[in-house]
Amino acid sequence: MSNAVSAVQGASFKGSISVKDAGLQGMITLRGDLGSDTLAKAVKAAVGVTVPGVGKINTGKKGSAAWMSPDELFLLVDYATADTVVAKLEKAITGAHVLAVNVSDARAVFNLEGVGIRDVLAKGSPADMSTSAFAIGDLRRTRLGQLPVAFWLDSDTTATVVCFRSVGEHVFNWLKAAAQKGTLPKYYI
Amino acid sequence: MSTRLQTGGRLIDRTKQIEFTFNGKRLNGFKGDTLASALLANDQMMVGRSFKYHRPRGIIAAGPEEPNALMGTGVDGHFEPNQRATTTELFQGLTSQSQNHWPSLEFDVGAINSKLSRFFPAGFYYKTFMAPRAAWKHVFEPIVRMSAGLGKAPTHKDEDTYEYFYAHVDIMVVGGGIAGLAAALTAGQSGASVLLMEQGVTFGGRALTDGVEIDGKPAAAWVKKTLAALKKLPNVQIRNRMMGAGVYDHGYALGYERITDHMGPSTGPRHRLWRIRTKRIVTATGAIERPLSFAGNDVPGVMLAGALRDYIADYGVSVGDRTVVVTNNDDGYRTAIALHEAGLNVPCIIDPRGDLDGELPARAIALGIRIENKSAIGKVKGGKRVEAVTLCAQAGEGGTLEEIKCDAVAMSGGWSPVVHLWSHCGGKLNWDFDQAMFRPDPSRPPLGADGTGFVIATGTANGHLDSASVMKGAVTAGKLAAKETGHKATGITPKASDEKASPIAAVWSMPQGAIYALKSKTFLDYQNDVKVSDVRLAAQEGFESVEHTKRYTTLGMATDQGKLSNINGLAVLADSLNKEIPQVGTTTFRPPYHPISFGAIVGDARGELFKPIRKSPIHQWIDDNGGDWEPVADWRRPYCYKQQGETTEQAVTREILNTRVNCGLLDASTLGKIIVKGPDAAKFLDMMYTNMMSTLKVGHCRYGLMCTENGFLSDDGVVARLSDDTFLCHTTSGGSDRIHAWMEEWLQTEWWDWKVYTANLTEQYAQIAVVGPNARKVLEKLGGMDVSAEALPFMRFKDGMLGGIKARPFRISFSGELSYEIAVPASQGQAFWDMCMEAGKEFGIQPYGTECLHVMRAEKGFIMIGDETDGTVIPQDLGLNWAISKKKEDFLGKRAQLRPHMVDPKRWKLVGLKSVVPTEVIPDGAYATDGTTRQNGVKHMIGRVTSTYFSPTLNHAIAMGLVEFGPDRMGEIIDFPTIDGDIIKAEICDPVFLDKEGARQNV
């Protein structure tokens, strides 16, 4: 897989916050009964965390599990292991009605860093970015400008943004424009 | 003449001189000036010509209500028309020009219209330009367009940037006057999150100019203290230069922040449009002073009384040495007193009222100012500036008693609360007879999602004209907003005081019985040149509704949306109709409160961010290798790859011939790929597709059709069965998101109990088609899996490795050639593409674009969604009956396809069309005619072309089309008339032009 490249191929930008291509990231769509013990066990075994609650993301050493919809999770693992994890999940949940599929190549992922991340995201997302409404462990499926994205905080000053691969360049350019130096509204800082 | 006073000017810094230009003239002002105050300081009384009559116009107001002083500011990429001088902050190098004059502001040809005003009455356009019809387009409209209009449209691309910002807050307070500050502090202290916005630069509002005392001290001290207290609260955000622009459903509001307007061209966004979700909105938006309606009330030098004293107090600017004050309320006396205190002369205060027992009139009398009771201005004399006014009795018709020389007139017709934000979302108003104003009715506020009011009006915006009630109301509003957002507010009401006032007299016409000659020079709407006589004429002609009158006369339809004219206009209408004002009512208040820039509305969606474009993993390579882009849904796909010196047509021909003879490479990554999995997946797909999918064997592919429930063909593609319970459905490039949503809709709303999950994997894979007689050789050279005819026959797929990359080749063909469509992980799509190009070199591989694809599929008679279908076509029309299951009990579209119209034998059906002259390509969209004429004189049509090309393979023009009884008319020649009058003759034939038995693909 040495010839595998991410959508924006390592692009980065430093303005009022820094924006960086996160590179190749293993991602899995898991659809099923989120309340079932089998699924919970399989998720635990695959990424090492419990099934997240509505709008949440749980992160552990092996990966993360994020809530996408009442019957859909989004799992984050190492890029190289995604297929193996899918196989493991399928095996662990044999018999139950689930769909586990590798979507690592269908997405682009960006890392944001800086105290202004909330201000930058609030330029394009109608989600409430205040500390009381959006904290570490929360995930938002929302939009950034004209495009659907999901994002969450990794710390008070770092965030991860996921979008579809084909519009990775657009989202990167959008983030670049929103993160120009000296343009933060300073609403959240 | 207007000039800068020796002292005074709260907002200006006399040590910082600023140079700017007006109509090319270099002028000086001070830091803190608005363009309006700086122009007045330079004796620039006339600042524009009026819209219709080209009358000289001067500055009337000091705030956003200004109707006249509209400027084009900036140059080239920073030029913007219709900027109000009164809200434009002065900066070094500001360029401004007046509008609506030709050839110059001083001498204007259009002013002749003023002399002809008798011929431009209300509804003039409707009455005059009716006949002859052709004259409108060729004579009237061009002339009207040349002489009318306000600002010029910009000629350069806007060089500034703009952005949005989304904010969520408990309470939004609009207006930074004393009411807004008190409400914000009260609410803020409760712990609620508060966003306070002020459209201007400074806080405190009119209280600072009008001598209000709070807690025994001048208001300025309280404002300073309160601002400091607010800034200490972490839950309170304070923004100046930010206007509350609009209030919408469910507590949604727009804020318009002007970030760099006061600095001139700068880096960073110029405007920021705040899109705010809030639980409660407190509107402390103040009030706007009304003009009085007397003849010549538009002559430069006639100003709102409040504005006149603003210019003295805020900017140290005098509008004239001698100012006549005309007022129907006590507040106007403040201006007389302020002028007097500034050492200027007030020849007379003209007051239509009788007995005056208020404190302010008493003070004016004590100062020795002459007051004329029960009097009115007959008319203002002067053209480009005020020279004198005539004094008359308010009760009369305007007979002159005396002429009073003066340089300026300060008028006050009372105050109208700014109820716009209250009203935007349905807040209702009451007419207050005592104060002669519409004010918010607190029992009928705009209602939120929970059925409770979400806007609270306070301060003068709520009709409180005395500062004691303002303060009391503001603290109450702050407490209420806090309580209703789940907080507990305490707060002490600051004690404010001002003078005891005598009541206002509602004066809508001055003098009361003004003769026509006076009425026809009495302006209601300055910007649109609507006079009292126009509204009276409208009433006389039967316009009773205020909304109709507005449109007929254009009253309040200009860029100021009637901020000064609305109440006066509807009062005149009410009087003409012999009705009370509340019976006539107001026109509808609509956002934005004040014009906002298009840039702010557009936000960041311009230039490269204008429209998101989906890019396949091969996009960059295609761009670097001559790809000639065309939009396909949100994707870009190459129409063809142009080699040096090639025309588009030559490139397409080369690509077709090469693919048919050697090998072609197509980026098919944009095709939709949807995984459908579950115990009920097969059953589900049997419903979604017209043909049977449940019988498809694992490892096999089947072409399928999808219809809407009305039977019309919606999408097509190849379905592959990955396992017993898993299918991969290919859709068209434009259909991937739509079909995925379509599947989910049926699963979530109709068949919610079926065990099926779907996932859209369109972007997970790059899909690359290797097409042509040499296709297999290329893949064999890459190596990694057996792609022979035996191991991987036609309409099968296999998982394996090709060139070291995990690959899933499908043996499917849209070209009629030996063809593999290979799905590889998108991240390795480019790598795989490069390998194919390299390996294919010796086999003559060349990339091909969408036009080559289209021609090749047409040669094979394959339909294309969007060409052969247009939303009215059913599969049966296209001869696709073989793909419509007769065994299935049901599928989407089945019942609809049994409707009488759908089984009508006269439905146009798909056939091939071969031009009689081989080089004559039938134009796109051409209709077939049978030589007869319909009753309406139109040629009778019997069919139409759906796809038409020149086939290089057959060296012949070919087409597909829908023709009445088409399949029964094989061999017939039919006519396709062209737009230029020729007829192209074509023979009806089988739509499969090439290799009907499939020998080429099935190898």
Q: Which of B569-583, B721-735, B816-830, B838-852 has the lowest mean pLDDT?
A: B569-583
Question: Tell me: the pLDDT tens digits for B955-996?
Answer: 999 999 999 999 999 999 999 999 999 999 999 999 999 999
Q: What is the pLDDT of residue B117?
A: 63
Residues B659 and B754 in one domain: no
A95 CB within 8 Å of a chain B CB: no
Structural domain range at position B923? 905-989
Q: What is the pLDDT of residue B978?
A: 94
Q: In which region does residue B306 sit, left (phi positive, over 0), alpha (psi from -120 to 50) or beta (all else)? A: alpha
Q: What is the CATH number of the domain that holds B821?
A: 3.30.1360.120
B165 CB within 8 Å of a chain A CB: yes
Q: What is the pLDDT of residue B50?
A: 83
Q: Mean of the pLDDT values across residues B676-695?
A: 97
Q: Which residue has the higher pLDDT, B137 or B970?
A: B970
Q: Nearest by CB to A185, from B165, B677, B762: name it.
A: B165
Q: Nearest by CB to A126, from B166, B675, B679: name it.
A: B166
Residue type, B540: Q
Please answer yes or no on whether A102 and B764 come within 8 Å at the CB atom. yes
Arithmetic mean of pLDDT over chain B: 94
Reported as a pLDDT band with limits 50, 70 and 90, residue B124 is: low
- The length of chain A, given as a count of residues: 189
Q: What is the CATH number of the domain that holds B368?
A: 3.50.50.60
Flag whether pLDDT at B54 surpasses 90. Answer: no
C-beta contacts of B677-680 below 8 A and 24+ residues apart: B677/A99, B677/B725, B677/B726, B677/B727, B677/B756, B677/B757, B677/B758, B677/B759, B678/A97, B678/A99, B678/B725, B678/B754, B678/B755, B678/B756, B678/B757, B679/A97, B679/B725, B679/B755, B680/B751, B680/B754, B680/B755, B680/B756
Flag whether pLDDT at B697 surpasses 90. Answer: yes
DSSP B366: H
Q: What is the pLDDT of residue B356?
A: 85
Residues B636 and B777 in one domain: yes
**Helix (H) and strand (E) counts in chain A:** 4, 11
% of residues, chain B, pLDDT over 70: 96
Q: Are B408 and B387 in contact (CB under 8 A)?
A: no
% of residues, chain B, pLDDT over 90: 89
Residue B8 lies in a domain: no
Residue B5 lies in a domain: no
Flag whether pLDDT at B498 surpasses 70. Answer: yes
Question: Tell me: the pLDDT tens digits for A53-72?
Answer: 999 999 998 999 999 999 99
Give the pairing of strands B217-218 and B757-760: unpaired
Radius of gyration, CA atoms only, chain B: 38
390-409 in chain B: CB under 8 A from chain A: none
Residue type, B828: Q
Reported as a pLDDT band with limits 50, 70 and 90, residue B399 is: very high
Question: Tell me: the pLDDT tens digits for B857-877?
Answer: 999 999 999 999 999 999 999
Residue B142 lies in a domain: no
Q: What is the pLDDT of residue B827?
A: 98
Min Cα distance B722 → chain A (Å) is: 13
Residues B342 and B397 in one domain: yes
Q: What is the pLDDT of residue B251?
A: 94
Residues B681 and B634 in one domain: no
For residue B724, which residues of chain A lie inside 8 Å, CB to CB?
none
CATH code, A12-23+106-178: 3.30.1360.120
For residue A101, which residues of chain B lie inside 8 Å, CB to CB?
675, 759, 761, 764
Question: Tell me: the pLDDT tens digits for B550-608?
Answer: 989 989 888 888 899 999 999 999 999 999 999 998 889 999 999 999 999 999 999 99
For residue A145, which residues of chain B lie inside 8 Å, CB to CB?
604-605, 609, 612
Residue type, B462: N
For residue B172, which residues of chain A lie inside 8 Å, CB to CB?
none
Q: What is the pLDDT of residue B110?
A: 62
Please answer yes or no on whether B617 and A165 come within 8 Å at the CB atom. yes
From the candidate CATH numbers 3.30.1330.10, 3.30.1360.120, 1.10.3720.10, 3.30.70.1520, the one assigned to the domain spanning A26-105: 3.30.70.1520
Min Cα distance B830 → chain A (Å) is: 8
Residues B380 and B475 in one domain: no
Q: And the tokens for B6?
A: 């020796």
Residues B194 and B55 in one domain: no
Please answer yes or no on whether A170 and B275 come within 8 Å at the CB atom. no
Reported as a pLDDT band with limits 50, 70 and 90, residue B668 is: very high
108-127 in chain A: CB under 8 A from chain B: 119, 122-127
Residues B748 and B799 in one domain: no
Q: Which of B413, B437, B456 delimits the end of a domain? A: B413
- State how far the alpha carbon of B913 is from the alpha carbons of A46, B144, B942, in Å: 59, 53, 14
Flag whether pLDDT at B104 surpasses 90. Answer: no
Please answer yes or no on whether B609 and A174 come within 8 Å at the CB atom. yes
A140 CB within 8 Å of a chain B CB: no
Q: Nearest by CB to B165, from A3, A146, A187: name it.
A: A187
Q: What is the pLDDT of residue B992?
A: 96
Residues B425 and B474 in one domain: yes
Mark the ranges of chain A whose per-residue pLDDT is less than 70: 1
Residue B123 lies in a domain: no
Flag whether pLDDT at B109 surpasses 70. Answer: no
- State how far the alpha carbon of A55 is from the alpha carbons of A101, B33, B55, B747, in Å: 21, 51, 62, 23
Q: Nearest by CB to B826, from A97, A106, A182: name it.
A: A106
Reported as a pLDDT band with limits 50, 70 and 90, residue B500 is: confident
For residue B675, which residues of chain A lie inside 8 Å, CB to CB?
99, 101
Q: Are A120 and A178 in contact (CB under 8 A)?
A: yes
A174 CB within 8 Å of a chain B CB: yes
Residue type, B449: A
Min Cα distance A54 → chain B (Å) is: 19
Flag whether pLDDT at B148 surpasses 70. Answer: no
Min Cα distance B169 → chain A (Å) is: 9
Q: What is the CATH number of the domain that holds B967?
A: 2.40.30.110
Q: Report d(CA B731, CA A149) in Å as an integer.
A: 23
Residue B881 lies in a domain: no
Please answer yes or no on whether A32 and B755 come within 8 Å at the CB atom. no
Min Cα distance B387 → chain A (Å) is: 50
B256 CB within 8 Å of a chain A CB: no
Please answer yes or no on whether A106 and B635 come within 8 Å at the CB atom. no
Domain boundaries, chain A: 12-23+106-178, 26-105
Please answer yes or no on whether A99 and B272 come within 8 Å at the CB atom. no
Provide the number of structural domains found in chain B: 7
Q: And the tokens for A126?
A: 């109608």
